[in-house]
Amino acid sequence: MSDVSKYIIFQLNHERFAINIQQVRSIEKMPELTTMPQMPQAMKGIFELRGAITPVIDLKEKLEMGLAEQTEETRLLVLTIDGKQLGVIVDKATEVVDLNEETIEPPPEMVANVEREYITGVANQEGQLIVILDLDRVLDYEEFNVKS
């Protein structure tokens, strides 16, 4: 029997990406952010969610895909990375899907203009390619650590 896992699908520049839903605590509309001096480049600010100060990262900027443009569809994926809460801005969160682990292929040399080291694999879902990101590699929590 093959393993099936749930993934959340989101978009950056109209390209479809996925992360394992086990890393996602919640999906939020964009909150008001508080900026801080000397923030790392892709960090857009912090906000409080359920009592926790949460750094917010522009995932497009971190992946060198441009800058996030806030629209009605812009969402914040609140994640747990290394036991810490972190928010990432995405253009749109579209759906949760079941992906069979056997159908996830290794990433080709160049995928969606994203560095290969950040990609776990690529899946074909209903004729559309989905790039599965390795957020532990993309988001080093220490890089965005907020001293409380």
- pLDDT of res. 101: 85
Domain count, the chain: 1
Domain range for 44 is 4-143
| Within-domain flag for 67 | yes
| Within-domain flag for 148 | no
The pTM of the full predicted model, rounded to 2 decimals, is: 0.87
| Rounded average pLDDT over 82-111 | 88
| 8 A C-beta contact, residue 38 and residue 130 | no
| Within-domain flag for 75 | yes
Tens of pLDDT, residues 116-134: 788 889 998 888 889 999 8
Ranking 6-15, 80-89, 111-120, 126-135 by mean pLDDT, the lowest is 111-120
Domain CATH number, residue 129: 2.40.50.180
Tens of pLDDT, residues 11-38: 999 999 999 999 999 999 999 999 988 8
